[in-house]
Amino acid sequence: MTEVLVHTRRAETLREVLENDIVTGAYPAGTRLDEVMLATRFNVSRTPIREALIELSGAGLVEIRPRRGAFVREIGITRLIEMFEVMADLEAMCGRLAARRIRAEELAELEQIHEACVHAKAEGDPDAYFRANQAFHEAIYKASHNSFLEEQALLLQNRLKVYRRLQLRVPNRISGSLSEHGQIVEAIKAGEPQRAAEALRQHILIQGERFNDFVASVAGHVKSVSSRS
Amino acid sequence: MTEVLVHTRRAETLREVLENDIVTGAYPAGTRLDEVMLATRFNVSRTPIREALIELSGAGLVEIRPRRGAFVREIGITRLIEMFEVMADLEAMCGRLAARRIRAEELAELEQIHEACVHAKAEGDPDAYFRANQAFHEAIYKASHNSFLEEQALLLQNRLKVYRRLQLRVPNRISGSLSEHGQIVEAIKAGEPQRAAEALRQHILIQGERFNDFVASVAGHVKSVSSRS
DNA sequence: GGATTTGGTCTTGTATACAAAGATCGTTGA
DNA sequence: TCAACGATCTTTGTATACAAGACCAAATCC
């Protein structure tokens, strides 16, 4: 998870740190990211900061308003649901292709990760489950054998990471998630594209649809959709 | 098509111009984009050039190799087919949602654009058809009433623009495209999500699958997949 | 009293200067 | 002759300096 690699460009590492800070909520939505503030914080000049902000803007995490600065993007509930809707479709596509193209060793790994999920739940360790869950989905992306799709899925997954994590705090959600995983594995194993796709779509959509349930607990991250300036 | 808007940041306009140059093949795949060369060409300093290149790298059009420079990204045939596969799925999703959510005036506009396509074909004007065709697909994106999906579809459509354009040069492709459009409109009009989705998926996949037919004619743009450094 | 304008300050956007890593090419040694 | 090494030169990456638009507040006008 935590890259130890030393990048040659500072902008690269800065982007990763800032991305993490935004995703974890250290910089809540709407926060203005002052260039000199960040520059002093990281002991660099404004140049690499600007480049990092531009990268983040490309990833959709910050919004750059010309001559006004960079802001942590406000994600309205509507947009969040839209993103989950697309994520569900991407994951369904991964599942559909994986059911057709998965290799024996990939299937073995997927089942092994699924076991790890079961284990994490039994241990009652939500963080471990979150990590195993993420590995589970990434294994399916990879098994689609469409590297572009894999990249896109990873990108969007990353943007939704915080919210998926919060989702697991909902009572009984882990149990539900786990049994859905089981069905997904079954469908892929059986080589049934349609079933795998639908199982994955529902698995993701549940997170998006039930979102209103815990909107209150995310009040800091999610801004009401009515506040469109 | 051609934005008249004056952007406050030069990087923004530079990105658009460079994007266009890459997409039209003025800078073929693999070309090294020298910063000072571009700076002198546009009569600006390296700073906005760099920022534009970073944006393009985020969009996947150029690859920045640290300390070595920016290169127009080589898109192998495999990756191109993968991208079409994802595009097909995104468009199918747009169609599925549009069939459910399209509003009366949007449907009217869609039919009107479809008429424009028919007209352009009758006139034998490939460029006009290309533009109308693009408008047709964008109308469906919008009718999905999922603004995030719309953005993603537009982004990928833009990256595949050149290849879709070339596709229309294939004999009889325009006729086929047009009749497919007709079926898509029918399905959306009838409010049949499944049919609309499948019609759109096939409509896009045909372009990807038949791609090998004219790979030779794109030799300058597309690089053999075997050349992985 | 309220709205508007205007000056000042702050922050972004751009240019330029400097540092360091990579590429090139010639030389030297086997 | 060829390969390896090194000096130089080119080009990227970063810092700093400068220009200009945006925000704020006070003063002025209606």
The more confidently predicted of residues B46 and A207 is B46
Question: Nucleotides on strand C with an atom closer than 7 A to protein CB?
Answer: 11-17, 21-23
- Say which range, A18-32, A194-208, B34-48, B211-225, has the weakest mean pLDDT: B211-225
pLDDT at A212: 52
Intervals of CATH 1.20.120.530 along chain B: 77-214
Mean per-residue pLDDT for B61-75? Answer: 95
pLDDT at B13: 95
- Say which range, A33-42, B37-46, B51-60, B219-228, has the weakest mean pLDDT: B219-228
Intervals of CATH 1.10.10.10 along chain A: 10-73
Q: How many helices (H) and strands (E) does chain A have?
A: 9, 5
Domain spanning A78-213: which CATH class is it, in words?
mainly alpha
Query: In DSSP terms, which residues pair with A75 in a beta bridge?
Result: A222
Residue with structure tokens 């909902």?
A: A170
pLDDT grade for B214, boundaries at 50, 70 and 90: low
CATH, domain range B77-214: 1.20.120.530
Token output for A165: 């994590």
Whether residue A66 and residue B93 make contact (CB cut-off 8 A), yes or no, is no
Closest C-alpha to B139, from B102, B192, B190: B102
For B47-106, what is the HEC assignment? HHHHHHHHHHHHCCCEEEECCCEEEECCEEHHHHHHHHHHHHHHHHHHHHHHHHHCCHHH
Residue B104 has pLDDT above 50, yes or no: yes
Token output for B182: 């007709």
Give me the CA B68–C1' D6 separation in Å, rounded. Answer: 21
Residue with structure tokens 């995703």?
A: A23
With CA of A47 and C1' of each nucleotide, the nearest comes out as D14
pLDDT at B216: 43
pLDDT at B14: 97
Mean per-residue pLDDT for B124-132? Answer: 90
- Give A59 to chain B, closest Cα distance, Å: 7
User: Does strand D come within 7 Å of the CB of B36?
Assistant: yes
Average per-residue pLDDT for chain B: 88
Give A-chain residues touching B88 at CB under 8 angstroms.
Answer: none
Distance in angstroms (rounded) separating the CA atoms of residues B191 and A89: 20
pLDDT grade for B219, boundaries at 50, 70 and 90: very low
Among A59, A66, A152, select the one facing B86 at the smallest CB separation: A152
Mean per-residue pLDDT for B22-32? Answer: 92
pLDDT at B140: 98
pLDDT grade for B210, boundaries at 50, 70 and 90: low
Which stretches of chain B sit within 8 Å of chain A by CB?
7-9, 11-12, 47, 50-51, 54-55, 57-59, 66-67, 79, 82-83, 85-86, 89-90, 93, 146-149, 152
Domain spanning B10-73: which CATH class is it, in words?
mainly alpha
Mean per-residue pLDDT for B197-208? Answer: 92
Whether residue A51 and residue B55 make contact (CB cut-off 8 A), yes or no, is no
Among B55, B67, B93, select the one facing A54 at the smallest CB separation: B55
Give me the CA B205–C1' C25 separation in Å, rounded. Answer: 51
Ranges of residues in chain A with a pLDDT under 50 are 1-5, 216-229
Whether residue A51 and residue B51 make contact (CB cut-off 8 A), yes or no, is yes
pLDDT grade for B212, boundaries at 50, 70 and 90: low
